[in-house]
Structure 1
Amino acid sequence: MNLQQIKYFLALSGELHYWNTAAKMNITQSALSRQIQSLENELGLLLFERNKRNVKLTPAGRFLKDKWEVQLSEIEYIHQSAKQIHLGESGTIKIAHPDSISASIIPDILAKISIKYPQLQVELLQILYENQQEFLRNYKIDLAITRDINIISGLKSKKIYTDHLALVIPENHPYQTFKDLTKETLEKQKFILPTIDEGSSYGYIIQKLFNSFDFVPEVYLHSEFGSTIIALVRKRLGIAVLPDSYSYHESPGLRFIKLPFQTELYLNWRADDHNPILSNVLKLIL
Structure 2
Amino acid sequence: MIDLRQLRYFQAVAEDLHFGRAAARLAIAQPALSRQIQQIERELGTPLLRRTQRRVELLPAGALLLERSRSIQQELARTVADVRRTGAGELGKLTLGFIHSSTYGLLPSVIRRFRQLYPGIELELHELPITTQHAALMRGTIDLGLLRVQAVPAELEQVPVLADPFVLAVPARHPLAGRERVRLKQVAGEPFVLFNQAEAPLLHDRVQALCEQAGFQPHVVQRATQLHTMVGLVGGGLGVAVVPASARNLHPKQVRFLQIADKAEPLQIALAWRRAHETPAIRSFRKVTQDVAAALTP
**Structure-1-length-normalised TM-score:** 0.80
Unaligned runs of 5+ in 1: none
Query: 1:11 & 1:173 partners in 2: Cα distance?
Result: 83
Residue 177 of structure 1 pairs with residue 179 of structure 2: yes
Query: 2:186 & 2:246 partners in 1: Cα distance?
Result: 28
CA deviation map 1:125-170 (0-9, x unaligned): 2222332322222212222233233253222223222111122344
Partner in structure 2 of residue 38 of structure 1 = 39
Decide which moves more: 273-282 or 40-49: 273-282
Equivalenced residue count is 285
8 Å contact 1:150–1:157 — kept in the other structure?
Answer: no
Q: Structure 1 residues 143 and 59 mapped into 2: Cα distance closer, same or farther (>3 Å)?
A: closer
Query: 2:193 & 2:209 partners in 1: Cα distance?
Result: 17
User: What amino acid is aligned across from residue 141 of structure 1 in structure 2?
Assistant: I
User: How far does residue 257 in structure 1 lie from its aligned partner after superposition?
Assistant: 2.4
8 Å contact 1:195–1:224 — kept in the other structure?
Answer: yes
Q: Structure 1 residues 23 and 251 mapped into 2: Cα distance closer, same or farther (>3 Å)?
A: farther
8 Å contact 1:48–1:58 — kept in the other structure?
Answer: yes
User: How is 1:274-285 mapped onto 2 (pairs within 5 angstroms)?
Assistant: 275-282=279-286, 285=289
8 Å contact 1:147–1:202 — kept in the other structure?
Answer: no
Decide which moves more: 252-261 or 193-202: 193-202
Residue 187 of structure 1 pairs with residue 189 of structure 2: yes
SS at match of 1:102: helix
Query: 2:83 & 2:24 partners in 1: Cα distance?
Result: 30
User: How is 1:75-154 mapped onto 2 (pairs within 5 angstroms)?
Assistant: 75-111=76-112, 113-154=114-155
User: How far does residue 271 in structure 1 lie from its aligned partner after superposition?
Assistant: 1.9
CA deviation map 1:84-132 (0-9, x unaligned): 4455432222222322222433244435544554312222322223323
Q: Structure 1 residues 243 and 45 mapped into 2: Cα distance closer, same or farther (>3 Å)?
A: same
Partner in structure 1 of residue 272 of structure 2 = 268
Partner in structure 2 of residue 6 of structure 1 = 7
CA deviation map 1:209-254 (0-9, x unaligned): 3234433323333233223333444444444322112323454544
Q: Structure 1 residues 221 and 129 mapped into 2: Cα distance closer, same or farther (>3 Å)?
A: farther
Query: 2:178 & 2:28 partners in 1: Cα distance?
Result: 80
CA deviation map 1:5-37 (0-9, x unaligned): 223323333333334433444434333322222
Partner in structure 2 of residue 15 of structure 1 = 16
Partner in structure 2 of residue 241 of structure 1 = 242
Query: 1:40 & 1:242 partners in 2: Cα distance?
Result: 77
User: What amino acid is aligned across from residue 126 of structure 2 in structure 1?
Assistant: L
User: What amino acid is aligned across from residue 255 of structure 1 in structure 2?
Assistant: R
Residue 155 of structure 1 pairs with residue 159 of structure 2: no
Partner in structure 1 of residue 166 of structure 2 = 165
Decide which moves more: 219-228 or 81-90: 81-90
User: How far does residue 50 in structure 1 lie from its aligned partner after superposition?
Assistant: 2.8
SS at match of 2:165: strand
8 Å contact 2:104–2:246 — kept in the other structure?
Answer: yes
Query: 2:40 & 2:167 partners in 1: Cα distance?
Result: 74
8 Å contact 1:49–1:58 — kept in the other structure?
Answer: yes
User: What amino acid is aligned across from residue 218 of structure 2 in structure 1?
Assistant: P
8 Å contact 2:230–2:241 — kept in the other structure?
Answer: yes
CA deviation map 1:37-89 (0-9, x unaligned): 22122222222233344333222222333344334433443454345445543
Query: 2:123 & 2:110 partners in 1: Cα distance?
Result: 11
**Structure-2-length-normalised TM-score:** 0.77
SS at match of 2:190: coil
Query: 1:118 & 1:29 partners in 2: Cα distance?
Result: 46
Q: Structure 1 residues 105 and 19 mapped into 2: Cα distance closer, same or farther (>3 Å)?
A: farther
Partner in structure 1 of residue 296 of structure 2 = none
CA deviation map 1:187-221 (0-9, x unaligned): 333x3332235995544431233234433323333
Q: Structure 1 residues 24 and 237 mapped into 2: Cα distance closer, same or farther (>3 Å)?
A: farther
Identity value in percent:
27
Decide which moves more: 173-182 or 6-15: 173-182
User: What amino acid is aligned across from residue 176 of structure 1 in structure 2?
Assistant: G
